[in-house]
């Protein structure tokens, strides 16, 4: 029911940008957390590093999300970028082994698939703990930072507005958050 909710009604210009929207995701499902952590950017350096990345890759818009188990780049660009492009920026220091692992195991999503992926992340359907509510705040704060830093534009603004509204609906209209599924929650219920 919620699958296409974040798309809403897009103008012809934003429909064109939808086809240039993609994500590169490094997460707990496909990579060891030590490799995911190599893409983390300290908050004090995020504005400088992300502005540099946007310029070096020639991106129209950029948003960066970093949590304890995922790092994701949400991008709008006329030319698709790859993990190799991110590594070639010189902003991330990975060993040859970790770089190869990142290239082989990154999740890459384009267009509508990228929107669905963002939606699943924000509504915690793609989380290590399905049903946890913290992710919606993390996504919102990541967008607000990117907007304040001048990394985003009209497309990501509209997409994030619809995305956050849709994720809130998931949390308020379903029971997903009442029984978060994780190793910790199972252990807690067993202990209890």
Active-site residues: which are they?
A: 68
Q: Which residue is it, tokens 């997903």?
A: 176
Q: Which are the contacts of 175, defined by CB distance < 8 A and separation ≥ 6?
A: none
Q: Tell which residue, 171, 163, 133, 150, has the closest CA to residue 23.
A: 163
Rounded CA separation 103/96 (Å): 11
Burial class (CB in 10 A: 0-12, 13-18, 19+), 120: middle
Helix 134-148 and helix 154-173, axial crossing angle in degrees, nearest 10: 170
Rounded CA separation 83/106 (Å): 7
């Amino acid at each position: 029911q919620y699958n296409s909710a974040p798309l809403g009604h897009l103008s012809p210009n934003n429909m064109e940008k939808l086809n240039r929207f993609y994500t590169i995701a490094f997460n707990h499902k496909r990579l060891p957390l030590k490799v995911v952590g190599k893409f983390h950017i300290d908050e004090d350096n995020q504005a400088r590093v992300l502005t540099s990345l946007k310029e070096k890759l020639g991106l129209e818009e950029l948003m960066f999300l970093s949590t304890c188990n995922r790092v994701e780049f949400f991008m709008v660009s006329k030319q698709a970028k790859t993990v190799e492009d991110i590594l070639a920026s010189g902003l991330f220091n990975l060993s040859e082994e970790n770089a190869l692992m990142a290239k082989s195991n990154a999740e890459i999503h384009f267009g509508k698939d990228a929107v669905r992926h963002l939606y699943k992340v924000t509504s915690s359907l793609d989380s290590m703990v399905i049903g946890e509510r913290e992710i919606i705040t993390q996504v919102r704060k990541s967008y607000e930072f990117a907007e304040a830093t001048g990394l985003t534009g009209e497309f990501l603004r509209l997409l994030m507005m619809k995305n956050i509204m849709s994720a809130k609906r998931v949390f308020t209209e379903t029971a997903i958050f009442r029984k978060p599924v994780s190793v910790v929650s199972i252990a807690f219920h067993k202990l209890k």
